[in-house]
Amino acid sequence: MLRTLFLAAAGSARLGRLAEIAPVSRGIVQRFVAGPSADEVLLVSRGLVDDGLAVSLDHLSDETRTIEQAVATRDEYVAVLGRLKGAGLTPAVEVSVKLSALGRRIDEKLAYEHARAICAAAAEAGTTVTLDAEDHGTTDATLETLAELRRDFPSTGAALQAYLRRTEGDCRELATAGSRVRLCKGAYAEPESVAFPSALDVDKSFVRCLNILMAGEGYPMVATHDARLIAIAEDRARWFDRSTAEYEFQMLYGVRPEEQARLTGSGHTVRVHLPYGEEWYAYLMRRLAERPANVGFLARAVASR
Ligand code: FDA
């Protein structure tokens, strides 16, 4: 029930505006979000990189409904990539991008052009771009965009969602030399016709996908906080004779930091997915929906003010 509540709150623009003016906002948000602007995200990135972590920046934006919003998102990414280079934070810091934020719902071609501009800025800065996975209705279009982008920017990566029944096949297609695939469980509410409904089946699919990616020639990016799946990934890497330089783990900023440190300490690359931007509210509600135990953290943040 709490999950439903937080997901509903994530979609409520009115609640979001209220929360942004509430005095408790900053303390609560800081655990999961770097801050509202590029200044804060550069500062937090510096700290993470100094701690031996890699980073993927995610600019949080409201649902993109106008061309102006899409252009502003493109410009934000291009500007932050320039600043990352200037700060000597590349290649340790890359960027994650949602094609919907670049205007896909308004004009597919425009979103593609925006993604190209971001890939060009990333190449200029000496780093990479990963396309986030969104709802299942967009998977084909995202993978087509990925293929086009990779012609000029071969290091562009994409996320695949283990909860989708199709994903084993997508992993097979993408387990090729030079390909970077982020494997995650999947975060959208999807119908049974396209996604496994049970957590156990999602985990089993994750392992099948992991086997394909680890056996293949690409670079697997294992995005999970699940201790069992992390252990299986380490095991599969050994089985397929991959060194720790030939795959990486990814986790969200603020989630299981002690596990991030343990993996880094054992020689793994751990990339922290670091969100920033004014539109932090829906993102925070989704993190709370994933793990209602985080509500305890929220309650403490409120009590301590
Ligand atoms: P699961 O949710 O089963 O959690 C396993 C364990 O991890 C929990 O039991 C708990 O111990 C711990 N944990 C999980 N969440 C926590 C939290 N918020 N706070 C504290 N502990 C927590 N999805 C998508 O659809 N498209 C995408 O592009 C991406 N991209 C992406 C990048 C990265 C780097 C990550 C880590 C995740 C994504 N996701 C995503 C989200 C992903 O699909 C999924 O919803 C979440 O990662 C949660 O799934 P887990 O694999 O962590 O397992």
Q: DSSP of 59-108, one letter per residue? A: E------SHHHHHHHHHHHHHHHHHHHHTT-TTTEEEEE-GGGGTTTT-H
Place of tokens 């009590």: 303
Q: Is 138 in the pocket of ligand 1 (CB under 6 A)?
A: no
| Nearest ligand 1 atom, CA 131 | 28
Q: List CB contacts of 169: < 8 A, sequence separation 6 or more.
A: none
Rounded CA gap, 263 and 257, in Å?
10
The pLDDT assigned to 151 comes to 98
Specify the residue with its C-alpha closest to ligand 1, atom 50.
Answer: 224
Q: Is 274 in the pocket of ligand 1 (CB under 6 A)?
A: no
Q: Is 287 in the pocket of ligand 1 (CB under 6 A)?
A: yes
Reported pTM:
0.91
Residue 289 to residues 48, 143, 294, Cα–Cα distance (Å): 25, 28, 9
Mutate which of 156, 225, 248 to test ligand 1's pocket (most atoms within 8 Å of Cβ)? 225
Annotated catalytic residues are 132, 182
**Mean pLDDT per 10-residue section of the chain, whose length is 305 residues:** 58 52 59 92 98 97 92 98 97 98 96 98 98 97 98 98 98 98 96 97 98 98 98 98 98 96 97 92 74 61 44
Binding residues: 98, 161, 185-187, 224-225, 286-287
The pLDDT assigned to 296 comes to 63
Distance from Cα 199 to the centre of ligand 1, integer Å: 12
Binding residues for FAD: 161, 185-187, 224-225
Specify the residue with its C-alpha closest to ligand 1, atom 28.
Answer: 132
Q: Is 256 in the pocket of ligand 1 (CB under 6 A)?
A: yes
Rg (CA), the chain: 18
The pLDDT assigned to 285 comes to 75
The pLDDT assigned to 304 comes to 42
The pLDDT assigned to 302 comes to 46
Domains annotated on the chain, with CATH: 1-32+284-305 (no CATH), 33-279 (3.20.20.220)
The pLDDT assigned to 258 comes to 96
The pLDDT assigned to 294 comes to 64
Specify the residue with its C-alpha closest to ligand 1, atom 32.
Answer: 223
Place of tokens 């509410």: 189
The pLDDT assigned to 281 comes to 77
DSSP 8-state symbol, 133:
P
3-state secondary structure of 273: strand
Largest CA distance in the chain: 53
274 within 8 A of 42, measured Cβ to Cβ: no
Is the link from the previous residue into 91 a cis peptide, with omega within 30 of 0? yes
275 forms beta bridges with 58
* Element counts in the chain: helices (H) and strands (E): 13, 8
Rounded CA gap, 44 and 34, in Å?
6
Mutate which of 290, 295, 297 to test ligand 1's pocket (most atoms within 8 Å of Cβ)? 290
* The pair of three-digit structure tokens given for residue 15, joined into one six-digit string: 């609640």
